[in-house]
Structure 1
Amino acid sequence: MNIEVARADELGEECRYQISEVLTQGFAEDFAFFSKNAKKLADAFAPMLVLECFHIALVDGKPAAVAAVTEGEQECFRLDRHELQRVLGPLHGLISYRIIQSQFMGSYDDARDGLTEIAFVTTAPQHQGRGVATALMRRLLELPADQFVLRDIKDTNTAALALYTKLGFTETQRRRIKFAKRAGFRAYVSMGLKRAEAGGRRAPGWVRPGSALRFAPLARTLGTSEVQPDGGADQVLGPSVHPPQRGAW
């Protein structure tokens, strides 16, 4: 299996819809409020993606896993109310617009240059359990940041929490939710990793968003023995009665 990692804007507009498919398939249960129709979900999210903020793991040249990477005031979505209403209908599109605006947009209070947030980590169903998300995460940790954060992971998503712990992340906050029995989980977990803990690595040739970026094939860069199947963040758990959060679920 040949895995490469690239930033979405380098792949070009022709890959936008495929990236949206991976994102919305991975979060289908969490995005179910917006639509339970897979094509409609992909149609709704595709125009919103800020491609320079998404990093893609490609398996044999096709998008297989995604993650959003932002720093400071950057946003990974660019909202268009009229486009959402066109795809989802006037009323439902308006409601969805307001939910996405309130839950997915806006920086956190501690946002700053050098603090990189990794969010929306997921893998296409057919590639889950093959270590693709692990390979993607390892590559992201080579980006030149002082600190990495993952926010709002469901406490029931033990596979993702185990993966992030294995990569060196530690829990920084646990935010309990109301109506836990109905929601199917008790708390959102946030995790952090400082540069020294990540080994101080920097990806060769890394540039800030706005310029092209491409990583070498991971099977060569990491060594095939390191690209191993696992459950990790390749699995996304659970429907929730709570509004979708933007964390790495």
Structure 2
Amino acid sequence: MNIIRACEAKGNIRNEMSVIFVDGFYQWLNYFSKDKAKLYRTFVHMFNTEVFYTAVVDENLAAIAACSINNVPSVKLEYSEFRKHLGFIKGTIAYVILKKEFEKKQYPFQISENMGAIEFVATSENYRGKGAATELLKSIIDSSSCSEYVLEVADTNTNAIKLYEKLGFAEFMRIPQKHSEKSGVNHLVYMKHVKKKEVESLGPIL
């Protein structure tokens, strides 16, 4: 498995990223369209490849995740793309809602300078359950200069929560959600990982 930043990938990786993103978050995105092909085309433009990391297996994209530092947006949405692929009404609705939720994300706590926000973690349907997301997140945490990492996950996404706990994330906040019956999400859970500092042994003092 090869872990690289999306901007370092050969060729146009955005198409593969969009497929993994839409498949991973289709439960929420299908409100705007049930047609996955339309959704693939709608979101292909938005990824900030400077902050997205990818796991590649046998030259196939297996998983994606972003690590936003200093509040740099992970994605940048363009209204024209939403309108072109989803139509004027649905495109406008999707753009307005997702612009606020994705690009101008507001966390219910302060993001400090030494904190990385892990976002948009998703695994290809062909590689789920094979450790791709685990290795990707490990690599992000090990290679980044941040001392802390935070992420948001739906309380109903128990598989993801178990994965994050294995990686050392612990819940520190949860926010109840309105209209939980429609969304299927009761709370948004916020988890934090604090990187362990390496302590150098000085040995016995003579």
* TM-score for the superposition, normalised by structure 1: 0.74
1:5 aligned onto 2:6: no
CA distance in 2, matches of 1:146, 1:173: 19
Aligned to 2:135: 135
Deviations 1:27-65 (A, max 9, x none): 112211222212111111111111111111111111111
Bigger RCO (CA 8 Å, 6+ sep): 1
Q: 2:30 aligns with which of 32, 40, 59?
A: 32
Amino acid at match of 2:23: Q
Residue correspondences, number: 195
What are the ranges of 5 or more consecutive residues in structure 2 without an aligned counterpart? 199-206
Q: Percent identity?
A: 31
Amino acid at match of 1:164: Y
* TM-score for the superposition, normalised by structure 2: 0.88
Aligned to 1:102: 100
Give the secondary-structure state (helix, strand or coil) at the position aligned to 1:125.
coil
CA distance in 2, matches of 1:28, 1:101: 17
Aligned to 2:14: 16
Amino acid at match of 2:39: L
Q: Which has the larger radius of gyration?
A: 2
1:157 aligned onto 2:157: yes
1:111 Cα deviation from its structure 2 partner: 2.3
Give the secondary-structure state (helix, strand or coil) at the position aligned to 2:32.
coil
1:51 aligned onto 2:49: yes
Aligned to 1:209: none
CA distance in 1, matches of 2:76, 2:180: 31
Give the secondary-structure state (helix, strand or coil) at the position aligned to 1:51.
coil
1:13 Cα deviation from its structure 2 partner: 5.1
Aligned to 2:174: 174
CA distance in 2, matches of 1:84, 1:184: 25
Give the secondary-structure state (helix, strand or coil) at the position aligned to 2:174.
strand
What are the ranges of 5 or more consecutive residues in structure 1 without an aligned counterpart? 201-249
Deviations 1:120-152 (A, max 9, x none): 11101111111111111111111110210012x
Aligned to 1:119: 119
